[in-house]
Structure 1
Amino acid sequence: MNEPQKEWTNKSIITEINDRNLMWTELQNNPEREDLREKFITKRHKIMKLIRETKNSYYKKEFDKYSGKPKKLWNLLNILTNNKFKQRCAPPKLIVNSIEVTDPHEICNIFNKFFATIGPYLADEIPIQFHVN
């Protein structure tokens, strides 16, 4: 049984997948037939290419449809990347100097302070012979 259909799936893809599956069954029943193996591999590559092209076309249309609509575009990106972070982006707790911090705003402030000051700190750690004049 095939996995649930995606938005970009169409009748052509389903037909090709069903044909490929029939070829696979036939190949399993006749593993010595090299001609069946070659036909199956050719069909499999054809389907992979068809799926890739169909997905690319579908998502390009989706991106074009949402250009100028940042919220909908970000929703689409989150779906494509399987991004499960919705509300919370800070970790639930952070340990700094042996102190556990759980307040999300304080965690964000700690990260902000770290990233705002790490550049100059790292620059000071570069040996003098590597400095650019």
Structure 2
Amino acid sequence: MDLYKKTYRVSAETKKAVEEIAAQENCTETAVFENAIRYYKDYLYMQTDGAFINESVKRTFLASVNLMESRINNRANKVLSELAIQQAIICQVLAHELEINPRALDGYRRAAVEYLKMNDRVFRLEDILEE
């Protein structure tokens, strides 16, 4: 970031307020002025462009949404992983205990895919047993 030196005239009251804020926030007076200009820029944007929220609120909100989305994805991935493991166990037990023709498996797969497509991906054992 390039820094430029420029002199501005401010009232004694403003000077005192900037010094107090800098001491309170443990930062430089330049940082106080930069933050003030940034906030004023957001204020002007809200007044002229009709924005609903300013940039700092928007960034905070998006960070919160991204964190929540990440947590939900992690939990969903854990559940899906556990389901995949359980299904693999069931398939191995069935394959070991039943004598299934390998050529028939492709037919079973096609029938299962068609069934799930027709029923909005809802699998009900009662429906399968009736067929």
TM superposition score category, shorter chain reference: under 0.3
TM-score of the aligned structures, taking structure 1 as reference length: 0.27
Structure with bigger helix share is 2
Question: Which of the pair has more CA radius of gyration?
Answer: 2
Structure with bigger strand share is 1
Which fold has the larger relative contact order, with Cα–Cα distance below 8 Å and residues 6 or more apart in sequence? 1
